[in-house]
Chain A
C-alpha cells in the first residue's frame, strides 16, 4: 500500500519525466547535492576567541607600572601554579574583603582576582607570587621538608653520630652473651 507522501512524490515526478531524461534529472540532482555540501563545509566558523589571561592583563592594564608582575600572575594562573582551585580563589578573595559567593568557575574568576591584585603595592604582589597562595593539602609535603630541614639545623649538633663505630658493633655471639647477662640481671 502506497503512502500519501509516495503518491505526492509520484505526482511531482510524472511531469518531470515527461520533459527530461532520467540521466539529466540524476545529473542535476547530483549537482544540487554537491552545491549543498560545499555551502555547509565553507560556512565560516565563529572567529571570536575569549582572551587568555595574558591578553586580559594587556587589555585591562596596557601601561600599568606593575604590568610585569601582573603578567607573571597571569602566567602562573594559566599554568595553575597560582590559585589552582576554586576554593583557593574563594579564600584569596575572602581574606581581602571581597565576596566570593558569585564565583562559580576558576576560569571566569581571573578578572576579579587580577583587579584585586592590581591595587596592591608591588611588594605585596611579589609576596603573593612567592607564596603561591595555595591552601591545598598537598602543601604538607614541602612543610614537612621545611620542618625536617629546620630541625636538622637547630638540633643537628645534638644528634648522635649516624654511622655506628664499627669497633663497638657486637658480634652475634657477644650480643647473645649480653642478652643472657641482661636476663641474669633481671633475676638478681
Chain B
C-alpha cells in the first residue's frame, strides 16, 4: 500500500568522495525491498554508475549495448533515435525492474558514464526535471533512494529538489568534516532559494569505522569522531547509534554476492535504525 503522504524520498550525499554513498544506497534499497517488503525505487545520479552496476549485475552491459533509457534521457526530456526508431520519442518507462515480489518491486533509474558530458553540453540544465519526473511517475512507491555524485553541481540541486530527507555517510578520518561545511552551505543556499521546499537531514551515519576490533581506531579516529560530533551539534544533525563497521564483505554484499559477508552482516542494525527514524518499518 502506498505511503499516505507519498513516497519518502531521501538522497544519500556527502560532498566528500569515497565515504560509501553508493554502497549504502544499494544496501538500503535491498533491505527496504527484501526485509521491509516495501516498494522501492533507487535512482543513480552519479555518472560513475556504481549503484546501477551493483543492482543490475551483468544486465548493465546489456543496458549499455541496447541503449536503454537512463537518467540521461530524463534530463534530456526525450529518447533519441535508436533501436530501429527513426525519430526522437517521448520518455516511457525509464526504469529497470531489478526484482519483483507480489505487487512490490525494486526498480532502478540507472546512470551512464556520459551523464556529466550531456549536462555540460546542455545550455541550462533544469535541476527540477527529476522531481517533475518522480511526481508524474512514481507516487505509488514507498521509498525512493537517490545516490548522489560527490561534487556539487546541477545533479546535487536535482537531488535536493526531488528529496525531503538527506542521509550523510561519513568516515571517521582526518578530512571527514570538510564535506560537512560544504554540504551545510549547499543545503542552506538551496533552502534560501526554495523557501517552500522542506528538506531535512535525517542524520549522519559513521561508515567504515576502521580498526574496530583492533585498536578501535586509535587517536586518529577519536579526533575525527570529536570533530564529527562537534560539527553535527553545530548544524543540528543527529548521528545514528549504529556505525557501519569495516568489512571486506561490503563490496560483495553490495552486488548480492553472498560468498563472504564478514562484518557486513551487521548492516541490518543501521538499516533498521535508519528506517525506523524515518517512519518506515
Residues of A that sit less than 8 Å from B by CB: 85-88, 90-91, 94-97, 100, 124, 130-137, 139, 142-143, 145-147, 149-151, 154-155
Contacts and interface: CB of A to CB of B under 8 A. Distances in A.
A157 B34 CA distance: 44
20 contacts: A91-B257, A94-B256, A95-B30, A95-B34, A95-B106, A96-B99, A96-B100, A97-B34, A134-B58, A135-B255, A137-B257, A139-B58, A139-B61, A143-B60, A146-B61, A146-B65, A150-B64, A150-B65, A151-B113, A151-B114
Given A97-B37, A143-B61, A150-B112, 16 more contacts: A86-B258, A86-B259, A91-B256, A96-B101, A97-B102, A130-B62, A131-B62, A136-B257, A139-B61, A142-B61, A143-B58, A145-B61, A146-B60, A146-B61, A150-B64, A155-B114
Contacts of A155: 114, 117
A113 to B, nearest CB: 14
Contact of A139 (B37, B57, B113): B57
B212 interface: no
Contacts of B30: 95
A150 B112 CA distance: 10
A95 B99 contact: yes
B98 interface: yes
Contacts of A85: 259
Contacts of B106: 95
Nearest to B53: A143
B220 interface: no
Interface of B: 30, 33-34, 37, 53, 57-62, 64-65, 67, 98-102, 106, 112-114, 117, 252, 255-259
Contacts of B67: 150
A87 B259 CA distance: 5
A87 B61 contact: no
B62 A100 contact: no
Nearest to B60: A143
A186 to B, nearest CB: 33
A117 B97 CA distance: 16
B24 to A, nearest CB: 18
Nearest to A132: B58
Contacts of B60: 143, 146
B41 to A, nearest CB: 15
B61 A100 contact: no
Among all A-B residue pairs, the 6 with the closest Cβ atoms: A91-B256, A146-B61, A97-B101, A87-B259, A95-B99, A87-B258
Given A97-B34, A147-B64, A131 B259 contact: no
A90 to B, nearest CB: 4
Contacts of A97: 34, 37, 101-102
A87 B62 CA distance: 22
Contacts of B61: 139, 142-143, 145-146
B256 A95 contact: yes
A93 to B, nearest CB: 10
Contact of A149 (B65, B101, B259): B65
Contacts of B113: 147, 150-151
B257 A135 contact: yes
A151 B259 CA distance: 32
A154 B61 CA distance: 15
Listed residue (B30, B34, B58, B99) with the most chain A CB atoms within 10 angstroms of its CB: B58
A146 B65 CA distance: 6
Contacts of B114: 150-151, 154-155
